[in-house]
Amino acid sequence: MIYHLLYPLSDTATLFNVFQYITFRSIYALLTSLLLSLILGPVVLSWLGRLKWGQRIQDDVENHVQKEGTPTMGGLLIAAAHTGSVMLWGNWSNAYMWVAMFVFLGFAAIGFLDDYIKVVKRRNKGLTKSGKFLAQLLIAGIAVAVLILLPGYSSKLYFPFFKWLHPDLGWFYLPFSLLVIVGSSNAVNITDGLDGLAIGPTVVVFACLALFIYVAGHVHLADYLQVAHVPGVGEVTVFCGSLLGAGLGFLWFNAYPAQVFMGDVGSLSLGGTIGFLGILAKQELVLVILGGLFVLETLSVVFQVGYFKMTGGKRLFRMAPIHHHFELQGIPEAKIIVRFWILSILLAMIALSTLKLR
Protein backbone atom coordinates (compact mmCIF):
# COMPACT_ATOMS: atom_id res chain seq x y z
CA MET A 1 0.00 0.00 0.00
CA ILE A 2 2.89 2.32 0.89
CA TYR A 3 4.43 1.46 -2.49
CA HIS A 4 1.25 2.39 -4.34
CA LEU A 5 0.64 5.55 -2.31
CA LEU A 6 4.14 6.98 -2.13
CA TYR A 7 6.09 5.82 -5.19
CA PRO A 8 3.88 7.80 -7.65
CA LEU A 9 4.91 10.95 -5.70
CA SER A 10 8.45 10.50 -7.09
CA ASP A 11 7.27 12.62 -10.06
CA THR A 12 7.08 15.60 -7.70
CA ALA A 13 9.94 14.77 -5.28
CA THR A 14 12.77 12.34 -6.14
CA LEU A 15 12.98 11.32 -2.46
CA PHE A 16 9.94 9.09 -3.03
CA ASN A 17 11.93 7.10 -5.60
CA VAL A 18 13.26 5.02 -2.71
CA PHE A 19 9.89 3.24 -2.46
CA GLN A 20 10.44 1.51 -5.77
CA TYR A 21 13.50 -0.38 -4.48
CA ILE A 22 12.91 -3.97 -3.47
CA THR A 23 15.86 -3.93 -1.04
CA PHE A 24 14.53 -0.85 0.78
CA ARG A 25 11.00 -2.23 1.05
CA SER A 26 12.27 -5.68 2.15
CA ILE A 27 14.18 -4.16 5.06
CA TYR A 28 11.20 -2.08 6.14
CA ALA A 29 8.85 -5.05 5.70
CA LEU A 30 11.14 -6.96 8.07
CA LEU A 31 11.16 -4.16 10.64
CA THR A 32 7.39 -3.66 10.36
CA SER A 33 6.46 -7.31 10.90
CA LEU A 34 9.00 -7.58 13.74
CA LEU A 35 7.52 -4.54 15.45
CA LEU A 36 3.96 -5.72 14.81
CA SER A 37 4.65 -9.12 16.35
CA LEU A 38 6.39 -7.59 19.37
CA ILE A 39 3.44 -5.25 19.94
CA LEU A 40 0.72 -7.80 19.20
CA GLY A 41 2.55 -10.64 21.04
CA PRO A 42 1.41 -9.87 24.60
CA VAL A 43 -2.15 -9.23 23.38
CA VAL A 44 -2.33 -12.52 21.44
CA LEU A 45 -0.72 -14.42 24.34
CA SER A 46 -3.22 -13.20 26.91
CA TRP A 47 -6.07 -13.76 24.43
CA LEU A 48 -4.96 -17.38 23.82
CA GLY A 49 -4.55 -17.78 27.59
CA ARG A 50 -8.04 -16.41 28.31
CA LEU A 51 -9.56 -18.73 25.71
CA LYS A 52 -7.60 -21.56 27.39
CA TRP A 53 -6.17 -22.60 24.02
CA GLY A 54 -3.30 -24.36 25.73
CA GLN A 55 -1.21 -27.33 24.62
CA ARG A 56 -2.08 -30.77 25.97
CA ILE A 57 1.12 -32.70 26.62
CA GLN A 58 1.78 -36.42 26.14
CA ASP A 59 3.89 -37.61 29.05
CA ASP A 60 6.35 -39.80 27.12
CA VAL A 61 9.14 -37.23 27.40
CA GLU A 62 9.33 -36.43 31.10
CA ASN A 63 10.51 -32.81 31.05
CA HIS A 64 7.69 -31.79 28.70
CA VAL A 65 5.02 -32.34 31.36
CA GLN A 66 5.76 -28.93 32.88
CA LYS A 67 4.82 -27.37 29.51
CA GLU A 68 1.17 -28.43 29.96
CA GLY A 69 -1.16 -25.52 29.25
CA THR A 70 1.39 -23.38 27.36
CA PRO A 71 -0.71 -21.34 24.89
CA THR A 72 -0.47 -22.73 21.37
CA MET A 73 -1.56 -21.47 17.92
CA GLY A 74 1.04 -18.69 18.17
CA GLY A 75 1.29 -19.08 14.38
CA LEU A 76 -1.69 -16.73 14.32
CA LEU A 77 0.65 -13.99 15.53
CA ILE A 78 3.09 -14.74 12.69
CA ALA A 79 0.23 -14.73 10.18
CA ALA A 80 -1.16 -11.39 11.40
CA ALA A 81 2.20 -9.59 11.52
CA HIS A 82 3.31 -10.99 8.16
CA THR A 83 0.06 -10.27 6.32
CA GLY A 84 -0.06 -6.72 7.69
CA SER A 85 3.51 -5.99 6.67
CA VAL A 86 3.21 -7.49 3.15
CA MET A 87 0.06 -5.50 2.52
CA LEU A 88 1.91 -2.33 3.56
CA TRP A 89 5.18 -2.80 1.68
CA GLY A 90 4.39 -5.17 -1.21
CA ASN A 91 3.61 -4.32 -4.81
CA TRP A 92 0.02 -5.48 -5.16
CA SER A 93 0.27 -5.87 -8.93
CA ASN A 94 2.85 -8.67 -8.65
CA ALA A 95 1.26 -12.08 -9.28
CA TYR A 96 4.09 -14.04 -7.58
CA MET A 97 3.47 -12.19 -4.32
CA TRP A 98 -0.22 -13.17 -4.33
CA VAL A 99 0.51 -16.84 -5.08
CA ALA A 100 3.05 -16.90 -2.21
CA MET A 101 0.43 -15.32 0.05
CA PHE A 102 -2.13 -17.92 -1.07
CA VAL A 103 0.24 -20.76 -0.11
CA PHE A 104 1.07 -19.17 3.26
CA LEU A 105 -2.55 -18.48 4.22
CA GLY A 106 -3.85 -21.72 2.69
CA PHE A 107 -1.50 -23.87 4.77
CA ALA A 108 -2.18 -21.68 7.82
CA ALA A 109 -5.91 -22.39 7.39
CA ILE A 110 -5.30 -26.16 7.30
CA GLY A 111 -3.12 -25.91 10.41
CA PHE A 112 -5.67 -23.73 12.19
CA LEU A 113 -8.42 -26.26 11.56
CA ASP A 114 -6.21 -29.07 12.86
CA ASP A 115 -5.25 -27.09 15.99
CA TYR A 116 -8.83 -25.99 16.56
CA ILE A 117 -10.10 -29.57 16.56
CA LYS A 118 -7.25 -30.72 18.85
CA VAL A 119 -7.07 -27.82 21.27
CA VAL A 120 -10.55 -26.32 21.33
CA LYS A 121 -12.72 -29.32 20.54
CA ARG A 122 -10.34 -31.39 22.71
CA ARG A 123 -10.20 -34.24 20.21
CA ASN A 124 -6.70 -35.76 20.39
CA LYS A 125 -6.22 -36.50 16.72
CA GLY A 126 -7.20 -33.27 14.96
CA LEU A 127 -7.83 -33.57 11.22
CA THR A 128 -7.48 -37.07 9.78
CA LYS A 129 -4.07 -37.72 8.21
CA SER A 130 -5.58 -38.22 4.77
CA GLY A 131 -7.80 -35.13 5.06
CA LYS A 132 -4.82 -33.00 6.03
CA PHE A 133 -2.69 -34.45 3.24
CA LEU A 134 -5.37 -33.90 0.58
CA ALA A 135 -5.89 -30.30 1.69
CA GLN A 136 -2.13 -29.68 1.49
CA LEU A 137 -2.02 -31.22 -2.00
CA LEU A 138 -4.93 -29.04 -3.10
CA ILE A 139 -3.38 -25.73 -1.98
CA ALA A 140 0.05 -26.64 -3.34
CA GLY A 141 -1.46 -27.96 -6.60
CA ILE A 142 -3.40 -24.75 -7.28
CA ALA A 143 -0.33 -22.62 -6.55
CA VAL A 144 2.04 -24.59 -8.79
CA ALA A 145 -0.50 -24.81 -11.63
CA VAL A 146 -0.86 -21.01 -11.56
CA LEU A 147 2.94 -20.70 -11.49
CA ILE A 148 3.45 -22.92 -14.53
CA LEU A 149 0.83 -20.92 -16.43
CA LEU A 150 2.41 -17.56 -15.59
CA PRO A 151 4.48 -16.16 -18.47
CA GLY A 152 8.18 -16.10 -17.60
CA TYR A 153 8.13 -19.08 -15.23
CA SER A 154 9.67 -22.26 -16.59
CA SER A 155 9.22 -25.89 -15.59
CA LYS A 156 12.97 -26.51 -15.91
CA LEU A 157 14.82 -28.06 -12.99
CA TYR A 158 18.11 -26.34 -12.18
CA PHE A 159 20.92 -28.35 -10.63
CA PRO A 160 23.45 -26.88 -8.21
CA PHE A 161 27.13 -27.54 -9.08
CA PHE A 162 26.21 -28.55 -12.68
CA LYS A 163 24.89 -25.24 -13.94
CA TRP A 164 24.56 -26.33 -17.54
CA LEU A 165 22.14 -29.06 -16.48
CA HIS A 166 18.50 -27.93 -16.45
CA PRO A 167 16.09 -30.48 -17.94
CA ASP A 168 12.54 -29.32 -18.65
CA LEU A 169 10.16 -31.45 -16.57
CA GLY A 170 7.03 -30.12 -18.33
CA TRP A 171 3.85 -31.04 -16.43
CA PHE A 172 5.87 -33.55 -14.38
CA TYR A 173 7.10 -30.42 -12.62
CA LEU A 174 3.68 -30.32 -10.89
CA PRO A 175 3.96 -33.60 -8.89
CA PHE A 176 7.63 -32.84 -8.21
CA SER A 177 6.73 -29.43 -6.74
CA LEU A 178 3.90 -30.92 -4.70
CA LEU A 179 6.42 -33.26 -3.12
CA VAL A 180 8.70 -30.31 -2.28
CA ILE A 181 5.93 -28.13 -0.79
CA VAL A 182 3.99 -30.78 1.13
CA GLY A 183 7.23 -32.50 2.24
CA SER A 184 8.65 -29.23 3.49
CA SER A 185 5.44 -28.39 5.37
CA ASN A 186 5.44 -31.72 7.20
CA ALA A 187 9.19 -31.63 7.86
CA VAL A 188 8.91 -28.30 9.71
CA ASN A 189 5.92 -29.69 11.61
CA ILE A 190 7.94 -32.72 12.74
CA THR A 191 10.82 -30.46 13.85
CA ASP A 192 8.54 -28.27 15.98
CA GLY A 193 8.98 -30.18 19.23
CA LEU A 194 11.30 -28.02 21.38
CA ASP A 195 11.21 -24.31 22.23
CA GLY A 196 12.49 -22.28 19.27
CA LEU A 197 13.68 -25.42 17.49
CA ALA A 198 11.59 -24.88 14.36
CA ILE A 199 11.44 -21.08 14.21
CA GLY A 200 15.21 -20.52 14.60
CA PRO A 201 16.23 -22.52 11.49
CA THR A 202 13.12 -21.24 9.67
CA VAL A 203 14.35 -17.67 10.10
CA VAL A 204 17.80 -18.68 8.78
CA VAL A 205 16.17 -20.35 5.77
CA PHE A 206 14.00 -17.29 5.01
CA ALA A 207 17.06 -15.03 5.10
CA CYS A 208 18.80 -17.21 2.48
CA LEU A 209 15.66 -17.60 0.38
CA ALA A 210 15.34 -13.80 0.32
CA LEU A 211 18.79 -13.68 -1.25
CA PHE A 212 18.12 -16.52 -3.73
CA ILE A 213 14.84 -14.90 -4.80
CA TYR A 214 16.42 -11.47 -5.19
CA VAL A 215 19.13 -12.97 -7.41
CA ALA A 216 16.58 -14.95 -9.48
CA GLY A 217 14.60 -11.76 -10.08
CA HIS A 218 17.64 -9.70 -11.06
CA VAL A 219 18.59 -10.20 -14.71
CA HIS A 220 22.28 -9.24 -14.36
CA LEU A 221 22.94 -11.06 -11.07
CA ALA A 222 21.21 -14.20 -12.33
CA ASP A 223 23.24 -14.08 -15.52
CA TYR A 224 26.52 -13.47 -13.63
CA LEU A 225 25.90 -16.34 -11.19
CA GLN A 226 24.48 -18.55 -13.95
CA VAL A 227 21.26 -19.30 -12.12
CA ALA A 228 17.70 -19.22 -13.47
CA HIS A 229 16.23 -15.79 -14.11
CA VAL A 230 12.54 -15.47 -13.27
CA PRO A 231 11.34 -12.01 -14.36
CA GLY A 232 9.21 -10.31 -11.68
CA VAL A 233 9.98 -12.76 -8.90
CA GLY A 234 12.32 -10.29 -7.15
CA GLU A 235 9.27 -8.62 -5.57
CA VAL A 236 8.84 -11.73 -3.38
CA THR A 237 12.02 -10.64 -1.51
CA VAL A 238 9.71 -8.18 0.29
CA PHE A 239 7.51 -11.15 1.27
CA CYS A 240 10.62 -13.01 2.58
CA GLY A 241 11.77 -9.97 4.54
CA SER A 242 8.38 -9.72 6.16
CA LEU A 243 8.35 -13.42 7.12
CA LEU A 244 11.85 -13.07 8.52
CA GLY A 245 10.68 -10.23 10.79
CA ALA A 246 7.51 -12.05 11.86
CA GLY A 247 9.59 -15.17 12.59
CA LEU A 248 12.06 -13.23 14.73
CA GLY A 249 9.16 -11.58 16.57
CA PHE A 250 7.65 -15.00 17.29
CA LEU A 251 11.04 -16.33 18.45
CA TRP A 252 11.03 -13.53 21.04
CA PHE A 253 8.15 -15.33 22.78
CA ASN A 254 8.93 -18.91 21.74
CA ALA A 255 12.57 -18.81 22.95
CA TYR A 256 13.31 -21.24 25.79
CA PRO A 257 11.39 -21.34 28.12
CA ALA A 258 8.56 -20.75 25.64
CA GLN A 259 5.58 -18.57 26.49
CA VAL A 260 3.76 -19.85 23.39
CA PHE A 261 4.00 -22.63 20.77
CA MET A 262 3.28 -21.95 17.10
CA GLY A 263 0.88 -24.87 16.62
CA ASP A 264 0.12 -26.43 13.24
CA VAL A 265 -1.16 -23.04 12.07
CA GLY A 266 2.48 -21.91 12.29
CA SER A 267 4.46 -25.02 11.38
CA LEU A 268 2.42 -26.07 8.34
CA SER A 269 2.28 -22.54 6.89
CA LEU A 270 5.98 -21.80 7.43
CA GLY A 271 7.04 -25.20 6.06
CA GLY A 272 4.77 -25.02 3.01
CA THR A 273 5.97 -21.51 2.28
CA ILE A 274 9.63 -22.55 2.51
CA GLY A 275 8.97 -25.25 -0.12
CA PHE A 276 7.09 -22.82 -2.36
CA LEU A 277 9.76 -20.11 -2.12
CA GLY A 278 12.44 -22.69 -3.00
CA ILE A 279 10.43 -23.46 -6.13
CA LEU A 280 9.97 -19.78 -6.96
CA ALA A 281 13.71 -19.19 -6.69
CA LYS A 282 14.35 -22.30 -8.86
CA GLN A 283 16.46 -23.70 -6.00
CA GLU A 284 14.38 -26.82 -5.38
CA LEU A 285 17.42 -29.07 -5.02
CA VAL A 286 19.49 -26.61 -2.97
CA LEU A 287 16.54 -26.54 -0.57
CA VAL A 288 17.55 -30.04 0.57
CA ILE A 289 20.83 -28.54 1.88
CA LEU A 290 19.34 -25.24 3.05
CA GLY A 291 16.56 -26.96 5.00
CA GLY A 292 18.88 -29.86 5.84
CA LEU A 293 17.95 -29.76 9.51
CA PHE A 294 14.29 -30.39 8.69
CA VAL A 295 15.36 -33.16 6.30
CA LEU A 296 17.47 -34.81 9.03
CA GLU A 297 14.60 -34.65 11.53
CA THR A 298 12.27 -36.26 8.99
CA LEU A 299 14.80 -38.93 8.02
CA SER A 300 15.26 -39.82 11.69
CA VAL A 301 11.55 -40.72 11.81
CA VAL A 302 11.70 -42.65 8.53
CA PHE A 303 14.72 -44.66 9.71
CA GLN A 304 13.23 -45.21 13.17
CA VAL A 305 9.98 -46.57 11.76
CA GLY A 306 11.76 -48.60 9.02
CA TYR A 307 14.25 -50.13 11.46
CA PHE A 308 11.45 -50.91 13.92
CA LYS A 309 9.53 -52.80 11.25
CA MET A 310 12.58 -54.59 9.79
CA THR A 311 13.89 -55.84 13.13
CA GLY A 312 10.50 -56.72 14.58
CA GLY A 313 10.52 -54.09 17.33
CA LYS A 314 14.07 -52.77 17.83
CA ARG A 315 14.72 -49.02 17.98
CA LEU A 316 17.48 -47.11 16.19
CA PHE A 317 17.03 -43.99 18.35
CA ARG A 318 15.66 -43.78 21.86
CA MET A 319 12.88 -41.78 20.26
CA ALA A 320 12.29 -40.00 16.95
CA PRO A 321 12.33 -37.24 15.75
CA ILE A 322 15.97 -37.09 16.73
CA HIS A 323 15.67 -34.10 19.12
CA HIS A 324 13.78 -36.45 21.50
CA HIS A 325 16.70 -38.91 21.31
CA PHE A 326 19.09 -36.23 22.59
CA GLU A 327 16.60 -35.18 25.29
CA LEU A 328 16.34 -38.75 26.54
CA GLN A 329 20.16 -38.92 26.65
CA GLY A 330 19.91 -36.18 29.27
CA ILE A 331 21.17 -33.23 27.20
CA PRO A 332 19.42 -30.05 28.41
CA GLU A 333 16.74 -28.74 26.05
CA ALA A 334 18.35 -25.30 25.60
CA LYS A 335 21.65 -26.90 24.55
CA ILE A 336 19.99 -29.13 21.93
CA ILE A 337 18.15 -26.13 20.51
CA VAL A 338 21.23 -23.92 20.17
CA ARG A 339 23.26 -26.77 18.66
CA PHE A 340 20.53 -27.37 16.08
CA TRP A 341 20.56 -23.64 15.26
CA ILE A 342 24.33 -23.80 14.72
CA LEU A 343 23.84 -26.74 12.38
CA SER A 344 21.18 -24.89 10.41
CA ILE A 345 23.49 -21.86 9.99
CA LEU A 346 26.28 -24.11 8.71
CA LEU A 347 23.92 -25.77 6.25
CA ALA A 348 22.71 -22.35 5.08
CA MET A 349 26.30 -21.31 4.38
CA ILE A 350 26.89 -24.43 2.30
CA ALA A 351 23.64 -23.76 0.42
CA LEU A 352 24.70 -20.18 -0.30
CA SER A 353 28.08 -21.34 -1.53
CA THR A 354 26.34 -23.21 -4.37
CA LEU A 355 25.78 -19.80 -5.97
CA LYS A 356 29.50 -19.66 -6.73
CA LEU A 357 30.31 -23.35 -7.18
CA ARG A 358 29.99 -25.12 -10.49
Under the binding rule (CB under 6 A), the answer on residue 235 touching ligand 57M is: no
In the complex, least distance from residue 328 CB atom to ligand 57M, rounded to whole angstroms: 9
In the complex, least distance from residue 99 CB atom to ligand 57M, rounded to whole angstroms: 25
Interface segment toward ligand 57M; rule CB under 6 A; list 34-42, 50-58, 138-146, 154-162: 50-58
* Nearer to ligand 57M among residue 80 and residue 301 (C-beta): 301
Pattern 267-306, ligand 57M, x by CB under 6 A: x---------------------------------x--xx-
Footprint of ligand 57M on residues 324-343 (CB under 6 A)? 324
Contact with ligand 57M (CB under 6 A) among 147, 233, 321, 336: 321
Interface segment toward ligand 57M; rule CB under 6 A; list 31-39, 129-137, 212-220, 260-268: 260-268
Footprint of ligand 57M on residues 56-85 (CB under 6 A)? 57-58, 60-61, 64, 67, 72
In the complex, least distance from residue 143 CB atom to ligand 57M, rounded to whole angstroms: 22
Q: How far is Cα 338 from Cα 204, in angstroms, rounded to an integer?
A: 13
Footprint of ligand 57M on residues 89-148 (CB under 6 A)? none
In the complex, least distance from residue 129 CB atom to ligand 57M, rounded to whole angstroms: 10
Under the binding rule (CB under 6 A), the answer on residue 189 touching ligand 57M is: yes
* Nearer to ligand 57M among residue 241 and residue 272 (C-beta): 272
* Nearer to ligand 57M among residue 138 and residue 305 (C-beta): 305
Q: How far is Cα 77 from Cα 250, in angstroms, rounded to an integer?
A: 7
Q: How far is Cα 91 from Cα 228, in angstroms, rounded to an integer?
A: 22
Which residues here bind ligand 57M, judged by CB under 6 A? 55, 57-58, 60-61, 64, 67, 72, 189-190, 192-195, 254, 258, 261-264, 267, 301, 304-305, 319-321, 324
